[in-house]
Structure 1
Amino acid sequence: MKESCLTGMLNRRLQELTENANPPFVGAGFYFSEMYSRTKSALQGYALVGEDGIELGLRTLLEENNRIAKHGFTQGELERYKLDYLKRMEQAFNERDKTESEALVEEYKRNFFTNEAIPGIEFEYNFVKKHLANITIEDINALAAGVISEKNRVIMVSGPEKENITSLDKTAILAVAEAADNAELKPYEDQLASAQLLDNLPVAGTIVKETKIESIDAVELTLSNGVTVLLKPTSFKNDEIKVTGFAWGGASVADDSDHFSSMHADGIVSESGLGNFSKSDLTKLLAGKTAYAATSIGTYSQSISANCRPADLETMMQLMYLNFTNPRVDEESFQAYINKNRSLYKNLAQEPTQYFYDKFNRIRAQNHPRGNYLPKDEDWDKVDFQRSLDFYRNLYSNAGDFTFVFVGAFEVNNIKPAIAQYLGALPSTDKSLTYNDLNIRPPKGHLVENVYKGTDPKSLAILSFHKEMAYNDKDAFLLNQLATLLNRKYYEILREEMSGVYGVRTSASLNKVPYEYASMNILIPCSPDNVDSLVAAAIGQIKLIQMEGVEQKDVEKSREIYKREKEKKLETNGYWLGALKNCYVYERDFETVSSFRAMDDITSEEIQRVANEYISVDDYLQVVLYPEKNEP
């Protein structure tokens, strides 16, 4: 518990530093963990920096360690972290009868490999409740002084080999460490005073319509400001409520000149905070609570995601309200966002796989200026703070465009007052937004493009199929089943029989936005020498299904997998949240969420029909990554 308190508080200080206009690193953190042996543990830290930030990042990491060793933590920091520590244990205890199997497996593994005790969550929760309160600030500061020392310290610096990057040699690293050890360090100032998210409650709206949806045991509400809310109580988790809200529009409604400002508006708001509180202020203010809300702006829609435990419902609703009505205006946070991402993406673009995916996206979109690509260094200069903020406010100015879905541990009558108080108080206008079709289309015909990047002897091939087709639910389901079946076939043929790949990923969908079309992508990681034969085998399997359909054993296997996976999904809040949202997006009947009737549509004839109607083996994009030495 003491180690967790030390690293938890230290990491929060490091997070605060990333909010500076010129942050010393993109991200950083400390943790206690095994070091080269399961029987040896050490305090380990890392910092992710830009190409020209190695020295500053290393020095800041060392100085923050030394600041703690010299001055320690504050009482306020410890009290807040204790609240969060106890909250996590309480959540685990409350879900003790619904713990995921994966979590139990990990406990058994640690018990076997490191002799970690597994007394059970009831014992652990009671133990923490009894002893956490007795841990003092003196205990943590003494632990910090004991483990943070220049006498038992190893420093490693790693990065890509590039001409314009000057790494630090041993002499330079030791000089940075010496400077950090000799720096005059002031104690940390814990500045947040006691406060609350909202000074005054907003004027509540009203529920003007309530509809019971018997097929899924849910209730749909219409609020006085035009907001639609679907409430689906569940008992899958004892301490979980999940929320999504969405509306059409997204970055597509921005002018071309505001493309970059619109694409980053949500990230800038997330970095800046809400109301009068910075991002780190919110972390402090929400100590001991489980409540989260954040917005997201895609190309064709804007959304908000939120979650909480039932006890913190009011806090979550207030965060949702603030995301709509009062994003924080802070230019320093804007500069922090730009500078961190500039460093991050500059490095990311040099990684061969990321470079390849960016090239693929550019080829598929025919270099459309509104495409979604890895930003170049000069693109960050095109993001305007005020234009981003104005665009964000415009997108979230009319809550009447939004549909919200609530799923989890609540009772409808108990949650309705909070819905009216906060969602009913959101602003609405008569002007409704919808998305604009930006006319981003892939090239027609069979096009083959090769990309050369990196030195490792490995390739990645993407086969991308696209066809403009009218949307219908049945074929959307069957197209997805075709992709699932192909995945199994490719595993058998490309991996087991040809020994050419570790795994192939096939995905397919029928889409309605921004226009109606079918798409399927096949990803084949392999050796450069095997690209042609594996691509031919992948296309050959599609042709075989188009000509002969699939064997009955494959039909039965598909039905069995579908039934088993859906039975499992139906016991999770996440599935219900996404499926109910999609009922609005695709205008589906709510009963399809829990129905198994689609399983009967899985037949050899139907899979064959869909393969022929939606996939053309003479019209697809093939893009392949090769190592640089293969470039002609």
Structure 2
Amino acid sequence: MKKRIVAFAIGLLIISSTAAQTDSDMSNSITIPEGDIPVDPNVKIGKLENGLTYYIRNNGKPEDKVELRLAVNAGSIMETDRQLGLAHFMEHMNFNGTKNFEKNDLVDYLQSIGVKFGADLNAYTSFDETVYILPIPSDDPEKLEKGFQIIEDWAHNTTLSEQAIDDERGVVLEELRLRLGANERMQRVTLPKIMYGSKYAERLPIGTKENLENFTYDDVRDYYKKWYRPDLMAVIAVGDLDVAVMEEKIKSHFSGIEKPKEPSGREAYELPNHEETLVAIASDKEAAFTQVQVMYKDSHLAPKVKTVADFRESIVRNLFSTLINNRLDELRNSAEPPFVYGFSYYGGTYARTKNAYQSFAVTSPEGQLAGLKAILEENERVKRFGFKEAEFDRAKKSIMAGLEKRYNDRDKRESGQIVDAYIQNYLEDSPIPSIEWSFDMTKKFLPTVKLEEIGALIKNFLHDDNRVIVFTGPEKEGLTQATEDEVKALLKEVQTADLKAYEDEAVRSNLIETMPVAGEISNTSSNSKLGTTTLTLGNGATLTYKKTDFKNDEVLFRAYSHGGTSLYSDADYLATTFANQGLTEAGIGGLSLTDLNKFMSGKIANVSPSIRGFSENFRGSAAPKDLETLFQMVHLYFTSLNKDDEAYSSFITKQKSFLGNLMANPQFYFQDQIGKIKNEGNPRYTGFPTTEKLDASDYNLAYQKYQERFADAGDFHYFLVGNIDEEKIGELAKTYLASLPGKNSNEKYVPTKFRRKDKFQKHIVNRGTDPKSNVSITWEEEIPYDSKIALNIAALGEVLTIKLVERLREQEGGVYGVGARGSLSKMSFSNITFSISFPCGPENVDKLVDAALAEVNKIKSEGVTPEDLAKVKETYLVKRKEDLKTNEFWISNLLANHQEERDSNSILSFEDKVNSLNSNDLQEVAKKYLDENYFLGILMPETK
């Protein structure tokens, strides 16, 4: 199951309104509106006599689908000492036998109607809640009824048989095993300080190995009986269905659940205050990354956001977050960045009852104190000098632009994006106003916010009590760890440091200073079946666009040209691979990255160029109103990419800081070693980046090669999908694309010469101290491309995943997750790749490898059952029905089909191809390509 400890959100409405009051003279100058934040009238909220709460909303996107949730207001914090890990274990048990679905029947049924286990059907357990996730078709009364029956069973009809409990112990223990490692060991040190004096420090949802192995059947049954009850539950139903029908379903399924006569109180667990600053320094030999955290916990309970005045305060806080993080981004992009990434926010902690102001930084292993100093100084700078008017104006524009996008797409939101707000309203009483109301109120209140209000917030955010400093990072030879005394000395130093006020440099008002001379459109054609239009530009380039109404405020952009690094010599390729990623750090059109970010305030548009193995590419998106800005950025990436040694050096410094200890992590080391073995003899294999490889990267050569690769704009194929103004698209194309140079190069990529060995290989990599293993089984074979085989090999992966979950997880209890995947690529050379991968215990590797291969051989000898093939077909068809209504699907497929010279009209025949899938074809694919010549890679812990 998906599991999360806590969700930190920085949305407009979840930030507390009273945790930091402004100065009295300031607040007196502002008229504070009266009244509560109204509930969105589109949602119907009710409560049954037994105490169960429900939320219902009709929402037509996606069509014929309802998102169901069961939220239980109880999690690991409710466990007794005998029940450690059982809140999460109970979540698992709801998928292992209920009154109406015997063990495995539930997953089996849902797969048969196109609901995919893990991807669609899911659940999570945190400290304070457990939430079950079930999307269900709404166009079939029988399927809809079964969906509501399932969540009713989860609420009170789990069987909890002794056999099912014992079978699931192994699965949950494997999930616990996945958590073992450097982060888990460091968390043991840091969590008791972060959650000082509270029960949260002792109730991680995964529990303990000892308790999971030894708890009694009654322990988990007692938890279920005590906390799974209607007065602690909410049912949320959002989707393409009449509200009255959904309400009737909820009432008929849940009204009969009896509420206990003397229910146990649902305690709100507090996070005690402490006067001293707590410092937690944790290091580990296997830690890959280095982090710094500063946490200022409020001394009072987290207040609710209830009133209109609270809403205005949330706008003030949101502005503060935007402003402080813009400054941290500037530091990150400076010539000598003190951290790889920095971020600050005010919001929730692990405990519902306490909010905090927190600052984070990812640093180099040697740079923790420098990173801490940087975020402390920036907080202190704001405290002393506040913010500037120009950056304040930019922050307001950014907030308004984001809200306008949400407002414009208010009738295009998918149900899955709506349900979480109702879950949080039930669990934490967070507000759920309509987007219309939020938009109108923000427009009303944003101009009334004073710069002094923003600056005043931090004076209450920062305090010496309830403060926690957390360092986590690697432990290795030659690295001196920071000490608690050094941290506390730094805190005092910054308080009295001689800091200068922030200087905000003005940015020009135009992205392109000299407008290009427009080119011409030489031809226009259309494809009525696909709904696309193609413009052939005078320089030879083509632009294919598809106007859609899937989103009101979205246009997606892609482009490619054949060639890429395949046209580099081996030496040039090796010298530029890692440098290529830093080219855009210099900015465009004479604007630095920082200036470009300032210019883009209030605009929603982004473009990223890249050079890949076989093509040059662009990827981007824009709101319709900012589409011209996107086109301008594309033009500048062709004609005016800046060259800045200082910006590139900053990029390399951050890369070294982030990646310097990567190989200490056993999983990364395993991937690196397997990659080297598979690519033995490949002169162009680069592997994972290292400090040495980054130092050897040639920025000048990479920049020169970029100029070469993007010299011929007429060799590109551009794609746009979304809410396009067709009257303007032609002019934009002529001005910014057709005006670019076209050289009629018509380049083709050079196919890869290297081939991996087609023979059986077994390699064991020893790394790590935890009892954890990883298994990777792969088959590769070069064959002529065939679209039918491509679909068959992909479907075989889906079928085999079903069988592996049944065998390795449910039957053997030896894995938490396992998957198989098959594909046939046409790029470079046509190549089948099929893989099976799973983590497990070292003692079970041989047994589970044999079991996995036995499932492969079973398909080869017996074929695929009609039931399993029907599941895969239904899953494909359900997903395709939804995909056809998304811009991302269309632009990805239009580009891929064009790039691989496939018929784009094949998009429309997918259903026929899926329906023609048959067991014999899948069996033949398995027989032919899943032979004895596979690669077996195994990660094992280091021998002592």
Residues 1:612 and 2:934 are matched in the alignment:
no
Matched residue of 1:156: which SS?
strand
Q: Contact (CA 8 Å) 2:524, 2:535: kept in 1 or not?
A: yes
Distance 2:763 2:770 in 1: 19
Q: C-alpha distance in 2, partners of 1:72/1:453?
A: 50
Q: Residue in 2 aligned with 1:600? A: 915
SS of the residue corresponding to residue 277 of structure 1 reads coil
- Show structure 2 runs of 5+ residues with no match: 1-314
* Aligned residue in 2 for 1:296: 610
Q: Is the 8 A contact 1:292 1:316 kept in 2?
A: yes
Q: Give the AA of the match of 1:233.
A: K
Q: Distance in 2 between matches of 1:437 and 1:409?
A: 37
Partner SS for 1:515? coil
Q: After the TM superposition, which residues 399-410 of structure 1 pair with which residues of structure 2 at under 5 Å, given as runs? A: 399-410=713-724
Aligned partners of 2:339 and 2:362 also within 8 Å: yes
1:538 Cα deviation after fit: 1.4
User: Which residue is 2:423 aligned to?
Assistant: 109
Picking from 361, 364, 374, the partner of 1:47 is: 361
Counterpart mapping for 1:257-272 below 5 A: 257-272=571-586
2:468 alignment counterpart: 154
User: Which residue does 2:484 correspond to in 1?
Assistant: 170
Corresponding residue for residue 486 of structure 1 = 800
C-alpha distance in 2 between matches for 1:553 and 1:184? 72
What RMSD over aligned residues (CA atoms) do the two structures have, in Å?
1.5
Residue 295 of structure 2 corresponds to none
- 1: CA distance between counterparts of 2:890 and 2:840? 37
Q: 2:840: which partner in 1?
A: 526
How far apart are the structure 2 equivalents of 1:547 and 1:160? Answer: 50
Distance 1:353 1:420 in 2: 49
* Contact kept? 2:507, 2:598, Cα under 8 Å: no
Match of 1:327 among 617, 629, 641: 641
1:551 counterpart = 2:865: yes
Q: Do 1:251 and 1:262's aligned partners in 2 also have CA atoms closer than 8 Å?
A: no
Secondary structure of 1:420's partner?
A: helix
Counterpart code for 1:134:
T
Which of residues 666, 672, 694 is equivalent to 1:352? 666
Report if aligned partners of 2:779, 2:935 keep a CA contact under 8 Å in 1. yes
Change (3 A) 1:505 1:493: same
Given that residues 263 and 297 in structure 1 are in contact (C-alpha distance below 8 angstroms), is that contact kept between their aligned partners in structure 2?
Answer: no
2:891 is the counterpart of 1:577: yes
Distance 2:753 2:666 in 1: 29
CA distance in 2, matches of 1:525, 1:189: 51
Report the more deviating stretch, 93-102 or 225-234.
93-102
Query: Is the partner of 2:345 in helix, strand or coil?
Result: strand
Match for residue 124 of structure 1 among 438, 447, 451: 438
Q: Alpha-carbon deviation of 1:151? A: 4.4
Show CA shifts across 1:62-118 (max 9, x none): 111111111111111111011110111111111111112232122122212221010
Aligned twin of 1:471: 785
Partner of 1:414: 728
Structure 2 residue corresponding to 1:137, chosen from 451, 465, 469? 451
Deviations 1:515-557 (A, max 9, x none): 1211112111111111111111111111111122111112222
CA distance in 1: counterparts of 2:791 and 2:616, whole angstroms: 25
Deviation digits for residues 235-290 of structure 1, max 9, x if unmatched? 10010000100122222222222224432354222211111111111111011110
Residue in 2 that maps onto 1:91: 405
Deviation at 1:367, TM superposition (A): 5.6
Q: SS in structure 2 opposite 1:509?
A: strand
Task: Decide whether the 8 Å contact of 2:365 with 2:474 is kept in 1.
Answer: no
Residue identity opposite 1:109 in structure 2: I
Identity of aligned residues (%): 34
Using the TM superposition, give the Cα deviation of residue 152 of structure 1 relative to its aligned residue in structure 2, in angstroms.
Answer: 4.5
Residues 20-56 of structure 1 show CA distances to partners (whole Å, capped at 9, x for unaligned) of 2321111111112222311211111111111211121
Match of 1:391 in 2: 705
Any idea what SS the aligned residue of 2:473 has?
A: coil
3-state SS of paired residue (2:589): coil
Deviation of 1:179 (Å):
2.1
3-state SS of paired residue (2:468)? coil
Task: State the AA in 2 paired with 1:406.
Answer: L
Structure 1 residue 569, shift from structure 2 partner? 0.7
State the TM-score, normalized to the length of structure 1. 0.97
- The structure in which a higher percent of residues are helix is 1
* Aligned match of 2:821: 507
1:454 aligned to which of 745, 757, 768 = 768
**Residue 97 of structure 1 aligns to which amino acid in structure 2?**
D
Alignment partner of 1:430 is 2:744: yes
**2:493 alignment partner in structure 1:** 179
Change (3 A) 1:550 1:438: closer
1:609 maps to a residue whose letter is E
Given residue 491 of structure 2, which amino acid in structure 1 is its aligned partner?
A
- SS class of match (1:471): coil
Give distance in 2, aligned partners of 1:432 and 1:480: 33
TM-score, normalised to structure 2's length?
0.65
Q: Secondary structure at the match of 1:629?
A: coil
Q: Shift in Å at residue 464 of structure 1?
A: 1.2
Matched, 1:27 2:337: no
SS in 2 for 1:305: strand
| Cα drift, residue 292 of structure 1 | 0.5
Q: Offset at 1:474?
A: 1.3
Indicate conservation of the 8 Å contact 2:574/2:686, yes or no: no
Summarize the Cα distance change of 1:626–1:308 in structure 2 as closer, same or farther, 3 Å threshold.
same
Amino acid in structure 1 at the alignment position of 2:708: N
Q: Could you tell me how far apart the structure 1 residues matched to 2:614 and 2:762 are?
A: 29
In 2, Cα distance between the equivalents of 1:295 and 1:265? Answer: 14
Q: Does 1:363 align with 2:677?
A: yes
1:354-373 Cα distance to aligned partner (Å, 9 max, x none): 12111121112126342241
SS at match of 1:230: strand
Instruction: State the alpha-carbon separation in 1 of the partners of residues 389 and 772 from structure 2.
Output: 53
Contact persistence 2:589–2:642 (CA under 8 A): yes
Cα 1:507–1:177, aligned 2, differ >3 Å: closer, same or farther?
same
Matched, 1:590 2:930: no
Instruction: Name 1:238's counterpart in structure 2.
Output: 552
For residue 440 of structure 1, report the CA deviation from its aligned partner: 3.1
Q: Indicate whether 1:562 and 2:904 are aligned.
A: no
2:533 maps to which residue? 219
Q: 1:290 to 1:481 in 2, by over 3 A?
A: same
Q: What residue is the counterpart of 2:810 in the other structure?
A: 496
Conserved 8 A contact 1:306-1:320? no
Work out the CA distance in 2 between the residues paired with 1:615 and 1:400: 43
User: Following the alignment from structure 1 to structure 2, what is the Cα–Cα distance between the partners of residues 225 and 162?
Assistant: 57
Distance 1:111 1:440 in 2: 56
2: distance between equivalents of 1:425 and 1:497?
Answer: 63
Change (3 A) 1:102 1:96: same
Q: Is the 8 A contact 2:540 2:744 kept in 1?
A: no
**What is the match of residue 524 of structure 2?**
210
Give the letter aligned to residue 319 of structure 1: M
Cα distance in 2 for residues equivalent to 1:629 and 1:264: 34
Distance in 2, matches of 1:120 and 1:337, equals 42
2:331 maps to which residue? 17
Structure 1: which amino acid aligns with 2:448? N
Question: Helix, strand or coil: the match of 1:157?
Answer: strand
Cα distance per residue 1:581-607 (max 9 Å; x no partner)? 121123222222133111133101111
Moved more, 258-267 or 135-144: 258-267
Once the two structures are TM-superposed, the CA of residue 405 in structure 1 deviates from its matched residue by 1.1
Q: Which amino acid in structure 1 is aligned with residue 685 of structure 2? A: G
- CA–CA separation in structure 2 for the residues paired with 1:164 and 1:414: 61
Deviations 1:129-167 (A, max 9, x none): 111111111000111222123445321111122223222
Matched residues in 1 for 2:861 and 2:665: separation?
41
